Amino acid sequence: MNKLSFVTAFALLTVACSSSSSGDGGTSSTQTDPKAVPSAVLIVGSLADSDMSVAEGKHDAAAKAGEPTAKMLGDGAHTVMLGTTLLGTTKNQFLALDRWSDGTNIDAFYGSKDFQSSLAPVFSAPPSTIVFVAQPGWSTYGTPDGANADDPHYWVIVRGTMKSSDAKTNQMTHDGIASVAAPQAQAAGDLAHVVYTGRDDVKQFLAVDVWPASKNIESFYGNPDVQKAFSQLFEGPPSISVYSSTNWYQW
C-alpha cells in the first residue's frame, strides 16, 4: 500500500459526502464553506540533504505519489523554488507554492499523517505550511507562471503583518503603494505581482513577484523609497526573499 493510500481514501469519502449532502434539497458544503475559495499553500523549510540531487529525488518521489490526490481535491499547481543568496535569502531553502482552485480540503490533505510522513525524509525539520487566500481584486498584474519560459527565473516573496485588521483598509493602502511602485518594478523587469492574504489571520500578507532575471532585484527592493512605502502597510519591515526556479517535479 503506498504512503498516500489513506489520503486517497479520505478524498473519495469527501467527494461522496459532498455529493450526498447536496441531495434532497440540502445545501452542499462547497456552497456554504467559507474556505471554498481560490487559495494557496506556502511551504517553506530546510532540506535534509545538502546534495540537491538527493533532495530532488526525495521530493520528486513524494510529489509524484501525492499528485493524483492533490489534483482531485483542487490543487492545480505545485511550484518548487530554491533560495538564492539575494537579499539575505538562505541558499537552497525549499519553497513551494501550491495553488488550489478550492480550499475546502486543504486542512485534511496537509494534516494527514501519511502525507506528513511522506515529506519527512525531504526536510531536516517539519516545514512551515501556511494557507493564504487569493486576492485578485487587489492591485495586481501577471501570474506566478509569467516567467516560466526563462530558465532560471526568480520569485521575490514578500511577507509581512499588515497594520489593520480591516481588509478594505489594507487593500486601499496596498493599492496606493502599488500605483506608484508597480510601474517602477515593471520597468526594472518585474513581470508579475500576485497578492494573497492569510486565511486564518487576515493581517498576514504574501506577494509573489516574478522576475525573468535577477539583475535589478536587489536594487529595486533595497531602494529606500520602496522600504518607506512598505512602512505604510506593515507593522514592521516585511521579509523579502528571493528564490530561483528548479526542474524538480511540479505541475
Split the chain (251 residues) into runs of 10 and give each run's mean pLDDT: 40 38 40 80 98 98 96 97 98 98 96 91 97 98 98 98 97 97 97 98 98 98 95 97 98 98
In CATH terms, the fold of domain 1-18+34-133 is Alpha-Beta Plaits (3.30.70)
The reported pLDDT for the residue numbered 204 is 98
Judged by DSSP in three states, 200 sits in coil
Answer yes or no: pTM beyond 0.85.
Answer: yes
* Span 235-250, pLDDT tens digits: 999 999 999 999 999 9
> What are the start and end residues of each CATH 3.30.70.100 domain in the chain?
1-18+34-133, 135-246
* Span 172-209, pLDDT tens digits: 999 999 999 999 999 999 999 999 999 999 999 999 99
Domain 135-246 coded CATH 3.30.360.10 = no
The reported pLDDT for the residue numbered 114 is 84
Q: Produce one character per residue of 182-201: b if its CB has 16 or more CB atoms within 10 Å, e if not.
A: beebeebbbbbbbbbbbbee
The reported pLDDT for the residue numbered 33 is 75
Cβ-in-10-Å burial (0-12, 13-18, 19+) of 112 comes to: buried
The reported pLDDT for the residue numbered 32 is 52
